[in-house]
Structure formats: C-alpha cells, structure tokens
Structure 1
Amino acid sequence: MEIRKTDRRVRHTQALLQQSLIKLMREKPLIKITVTDICNLADINRSTFYLHYTDPLSLLYAIETELLEDVIDLIRVPDKDFSFTSFIHTLLKALDENKETSTIFLKCHDGHLFSNSFFESFHDCFISMLNRTLPAASSSCHEYLYTFVANGLISVVRKWIADGFLEEPREIEELLETVCSCALIKKQCIL
C-alpha cells in the first residue's frame, strides 16, 4: 500500500491553525477559545478548520501527538542500543526546542505532559536495558526501578518547564543521569 504525503497546502493550513491556537493559549485557557477565535487569528474560514479538526481540543491533541511522535521516533531504537543517557538528551532537546508548546501542554493538561503511549515506548526500552544491566534482579524489581525513574524524570522535567527552562538542557540531563545512576548503582550493591 502506498503512503501518500500530506499536501503542502494542507500542512500549511494545519500549521497556521496550530500556531494560532498556541498564541491564543498564551492569553486565555483552552475552554474559552472558540473555533472562530482560531480562524480569525489564522485568517482561515471556519469550514476549512472543520476539514481538519472537530474543535479546539482536537487541534490541541493533534499538536501534542505531533510533538510526542517526533520524540518517540527519535528515541525508538533497537532495545539492545537503548541508552538512558541518549533518551534523556533527546527528550530534553525536543522539549527545549518546543518551549512554548511544552509550557502550554503543562498548563492545559493540569501538569500532565506526556501521554501513556510515550511512556509505553520508554517502558519497553528501559526494562530491556535493566535486564542487561541488572540480570540478577527480579522483574518486579525492574518495574519498581522503572516507576522510580519515570516518575522522577516526569517531576524534574515538569519543574524545569514550570520554572521557565531556567537551566540549560545539559544541566538537567546531568542531574537526571546522576540520580538515576546512583539508583542503579545502589541496586547493584544490594543484589
């Protein structure tokens, strides 16, 4: 089956709508943004909006999906090649390059930044890495370590974004690597 590329005009229209929503979300919450507001700012007809999206929320989900798919594609590597360090680097770089979008997602999703599918992709790679790194540990131990690392990562990234990206991505990367390395080293000593 042949996969068709999206027409350049369609991509341009979708980009205008996405940029307009992001701009409006700087000024007011999503619930107060109407399709008319978005269309007026984008200088696009309402019927054109409805060709692509059903409402402002579906537009927001499209923006989120696009950003997360880009990050997932960057980190999706064969399990044997998965590196926590490269994962953190890739994630922080993507968020830093999309500061405004990341900040808006954090605000409008009540502090939730990542979808379940994002962490499902990360989960499988991370567990595989733990199987190689800590082969003597039980699968439940691996799950607890994953939970610790994933939730710590989410919390640190959430704070970094909420604080306005004050630190450079490299500083956050080093902090996360240190904390996670200490957890893994400590676990190796216990085994």
Structure 2
Amino acid sequence: MSDRRVRRTKKVLKETFISLLQKKEIHRITVKEISDIADVNRSTFYNYYTDVYDMLDKLENEAIELLERVMKEYCTENDQDLISRAFFTELLRVIKENSSLFNLFFVDENGVKFAVKLQNLILTIPDYKVNYDKNVANYYVFSYIASGITGMIQCWLKNEMSAPISDVSEIMKQLMENNYDTCLQFRSRL
C-alpha cells in the first residue's frame, strides 16, 4: 500500500474514531463500528491498532508529538526568551489547527491522563528543566506553572477557542514571567 493511501486510511480511521468518541464512551465503541463507518476492513484497522484503546493511546501520543515539535522549535537551551509570546502563539495555533484531536483529550476521563502528559512536557522546557531540579521551591513553582498552562488550554478549548490566540498567548506569557520571577524570589529564601 502506498504511503499516501496509508495516510488517507489512517486519517479516515482517526476522524471516525474522534467523531464516535464525541458521541459515546470509548468502552461502547467497537472496531467493527469504526471500520464500518470508515468503510475499511477490520483487518485494515488491525494493521495499525490492536484495539480502540491502542488507537486512543496513539492519538494521544500524536497530540503530544505535535506540541513537542513546537517546543523544540522555540525552546532551546540557548534561547534567552523561553517564554516568548511567539512560542505560546504557535502552541495555541497548533492546538487550534488540531482542535478535534485536542478536544478529545480534555474531556472526561481522557483529560486527566493527557493533562499530566502535557504538564510533564511543559516541565521539559530547557530553562525550567535546569532549574526545576535544583531546589524545592522551583519544583513547586514549575509544577504550578505547568498546571496553569494546561488549565488555560483546557479552558480555551472548552470555550470553543472564542478568545483570540493573541490574547491568550499574551496572558500565558505574562503569567509565566510573573511566576518565574516568583520562583527566583523563592530561590533566595530557601
């Protein structure tokens, strides 16, 4: 099967699965149902996924990989402005472009697991990673920052991304700067 055909088949399976998850719980979705709606053989489904839970896990990893790419592009160890508005703008743009995928992970039981993965990803921003491991205050402040960003993204998606990306990215930038400054103040006290 050609790469183009594989991509198209996986795209149809993914879109079908996301559509079904918006209507019902995962334990009520069957491989047969996905295959029938996507108009592919069940064996084709099994070429890519072992079951619906494996498909969900792979979609979750795909979402995290999209965000990792943004971080790698904007957050390097040599970058002096790791919390730039451009970084948050691009992060939100990617989320909006793939909103059906990201909405999937910020609902019900999927949200908790994905939020933890996203928070852990945020904690790998190079400057935060370096300082995160150095003292107790940093550990708590950086965890707070990561939870806050995750919560803002969740809220933005829940409100159907009605606030402009430029506004939300500016809020994120300001909150990150203010909390990072707080962390520096704690460092001198502990």
TM-score (norm 2): 0.81
CA distance in 2, matches of 1:122, 1:178: 16
Equivalent residue for 1:50, pick from 46, 53, 56: 46
Q: Match of 1:83, SS?
A: coil
Matched length: 179
- Unmatched tracts of structure 2, length 5 or more: none
CA offsets, 1:138-186, max 9 Å, x none?
5222222211110111111111112222211221111122222222334
The letter for the 1-side match of 2:76 is P
**Pairwise CA RMSD of aligned residues?**
2.4
CA contact (8 A) 2:138 2:183 kept: no
CA distance in 2, matches of 1:61, 1:188: 37
Residue of structure 2 equivalent to 1:167: 163
Residue of structure 1 equivalent to 2:78: 80
CA distance in 2, matches of 1:49, 1:128: 39
CA distance in 1, matches of 2:11, 2:162: 28
Residue of structure 1 equivalent to 2:128: 127
CA distance in 1, matches of 2:123, 2:185: 23
- Percent identical among aligned pairs is 23
Shift in Å, 1:49: 0.8
The runs of 4+ residues in structure 1 deviating greater than 6 Å are none
Q: Match of 2:107, SS?
A: helix
TM-score (norm 1): 0.81
The worse-fitting range, judged by mean Cα deviation, of 42-51 and 178-187 is 178-187
Residue of structure 2 equivalent to 1:109: 109
CA contact (8 A) 2:35 2:41 kept: yes
- Unmatched tracts of structure 1, length 5 or more: 1-5, 132-137
